[in-house]
Amino acid sequence: MAAPEGVTRQGRVRGVQGPHGIEVFRGIPYAAPPFGPRRFTAPQPAPAWDGVRDATAFGPTAPKGGYAPPFDALLPEPSVAGEDCLNLNVWTPSAVGRAPVMVWLHGGAFVNGSGAVPSHDGTAFARDGVVCVTANYRLGTDGYLALEGAPDNRGVLDQIAALRWVRDNIAAFGGDPDRVTVAGESAGAMSVAFLLAAPAARGLFHRAILQSGAHGMTVTPATARRITARFAAMLEIEPTAAAFAALPAAALGPAQTLLRAEAAAGADPALWGETALTMLPFAPIADDPAALRAATDPGVPLLVGSTTEEYRLFTVPTGVVDRVTTARLRQTAARYGLDPDTALPVYAAARPGAGPGDLMSAILTDWFFRVPALRLAEAARRAHVYEFGWPSSACDGRLGACHGSDVPFVFDTLGTAGGLLGPDPAPQALADAMHAAWVAFATGDDPGWPAYTPERRATLRFGGPDRAVPRLLDDPGAAERALWDGVR
Active-site amino acid positions: 186, 310, 403
Q: Do 482 and 365 meet the contact criterion of CB atoms below 8 Å apart?
A: no
The whole-angstrom separation of Cα 173 and Cα 163 is 14
Beta strands in 345-457 (DSSP E): 383-388
> What CA–CA distance (Å, rounded) separates 397 from 325?
22
CA distances to 44, 83, 132, 137, 324 from 32, rounded to whole Å, are: 5, 9, 22, 12, 47
HSE toward the beta carbon, residue 298, CA cutoff 13 A: 5
Rounded Cα gap, residues 329 and 354, in angstroms:
12
By three-state DSSP, how is residue 32 classified?
Answer: coil
Answer for the pair 302, 208: CB distance below 8 angstroms, yes or no: yes
Contacts of residue 406, Cβ cutoff 8 Å, sequence gap at least 6: 185, 211, 212, 307, 388, 434, 462
* φ, ψ of residue 461 in degrees (nearest 5): -95, 120
Percent of residues in the chain assigned helix, strand, coil, to nearest 5: 40, 15, 45
Q: How many CB atoms lie within 10 A of CB 318?
A: 13
332 membership: H or E segment, kind and range: helix 326-335
